[in-house]
Amino acid sequence: MIWVWVTVAVAAVVILVLSSSIKCRLTLLRRHADDEIVVDVHAMGGLIKQRVSIPVLKLSNWVNSVQVTTEVVDKTNNNLEQGLKGNITMEKIRKAYSDVNLLLEHCFQFHKWVLDTLKQVHCAKLYWKTNVGLGDAAETAMATGLVWSLKSSLLGFVFQFIQLDTRPQLMVVPQYNEWAFATEIICIAKIRIFYILLSGIRLFVRILRVKGGLKTWQRVLLKPSKV
């Protein structure tokens, strides 16, 4: 009889896990020369909390490299799990572009898989504020209108693929008679764990449908990375 209750309990836990959501909160700040990107991930009803922070994005020389510092924090215990420093070079960008193309070639209709997965993503919050100033009142007014247009067009395109569950909060604040640019984006997106697992299985099947697909993905994804 005890095994029946154990089976029921395990089944209940599995159903609870699969029906729960992974929530990602993206915070992007750009003020003057300071940049900060923070990604907070919550899962299992808040039992799992992770934060990935990029507090330093320094353009040492755009032609040569971009210096990046990344911190991974376990918010459950408030422990710094990992801190990485590295440079993004043009050589690394070209290599990453080549690897991505190779992966796409060895997956059956990868774009279809991406679109099907994005349909399961829900945007629960979107706040986007931008301050802009060009030093002249007339030019600032024109720039404000342009920024509004760019934001509307970009979000209109994005929300063709992602479900929007709330009204976006968009602001463009003109800074007359001064040079200024600052932007702040807060976005919360959710997807159920069940759909993540299902999407992973579908991706695996699509990779198997291409000759040499699995070996190619293993070779590209499992090779040691150079910082």
Average pLDDT, integer, range 115-144: 90
Exposed e or buried b for every residue in 109-139, given b needs 16+ CB within 10 A?
Answer: ebeebeebbeebebbbebebebbbbbeeeee
d(CA 112, CA 94): 25
| Letter string b/e over residues 180-197, b meaning 16 or more CB atoms within 10 A of that residue's CB | bebbbebbbbbbbbebbe
For the chain, what's the residue count?
A: 227
pLDDT of residue 161: 92
Instruction: Report CA dihedral (51, 74, 48, 120) to the nearest 10 degrees.
Output: 20
Task: Inform me whether the pLDDT recorded for 59 exceeds 60.
Answer: no
DSSP state of 44: G
Q: What is the pLDDT averaged over residues 165-194?
A: 88
Closest CA to 176 of 147, 134, 130: 134
Out of 18-22, 124-128, 136-140, 175-179, least confident range: 18-22
Q: Quick one: pLDDT band at residue 6, thresholds 50, 70, 90? A: low
Residue range 187-212, pLDDT digits in tens: 999 988 889 999 999 999 999 999 89
Asked if residue 52 has pLDDT above 90, the reply is no
The Cα 145–Cα 128 span in angstroms is 15
Can you give the pLDDT at residue 183? 87
Please report where in the chains the tokens 């991406």 appear, as a residue. Answer: 114
Tell me, what's the pLDDT at 25?
A: 87
Distance CA 219, CA 211 (A): 14
Mean pLDDT of 117-143: 89
Percent of the chain residues past pLDDT 90, beyond the cut: 28
Q: Is 7 exposed, middle or buried (0-12, 13-18, 19+ CB in 10 A)?
A: exposed
| Model confidence at 41: pLDDT above 90 | no
pTM of the model: 0.76
For 177, phi and psi rounded to 5 degrees? 60, 30
What is the Cα–Cα distance from 13 to 133, expressed in whole angstroms? Answer: 54
In percent, the amount of the chain with pLDDT more than 70 equals 74
Mean pLDDT, residues 7-16 = 67
For position 49, what pLDDT does the model report? 81
End-to-end Cα separation, the chain, in angstroms: 55
> pLDDT tier at 138 (50, 70, 90 boundaries)?
confident
Q: How much is the pLDDT for 126?
A: 92
**172: number of Cβ within 10 Å:** 19
d(CA 58, CA 34): 9
Q: Which residues pair with 184 in a beta bridge?
A: 29, 129
